[in-house]
Amino acid sequence: MNRTPHVAIVGATGAVGVEMIRTLEKRKFPVGKLTLLASARSAGKTMPFKGTQLPVQEFAASRFFIFAVLSAAPMCLLLAC
CATH value at residue 75: 3.40.50.720
Question: Total domain count for the chain?
Answer: 1
Whole-number pLDDT of residue 7: 85
Residue 50 lies in a domain: yes
Whole-number pLDDT of residue 80: 44
| Full domain range(s) for residue 56 | 6-79
Whole-number pLDDT of residue 65: 53
Residue 1 lies in a domain: no
Whole-number pLDDT of residue 5: 84
pLDDT along the chain (81 residues), means of 10: 80 92 92 90 95 92 54 44 39
Whole-number pLDDT of residue 2: 65
Residue 19 lies in a domain: yes
Residue 32 lies in a domain: yes
Q: Which of 18, 43, 1, 48 is nearest to 9 (CA)?
A: 18
Whole-number pLDDT of residue 19: 92
Residue 51 lies in a domain: yes
Residue 47 lies in a domain: yes
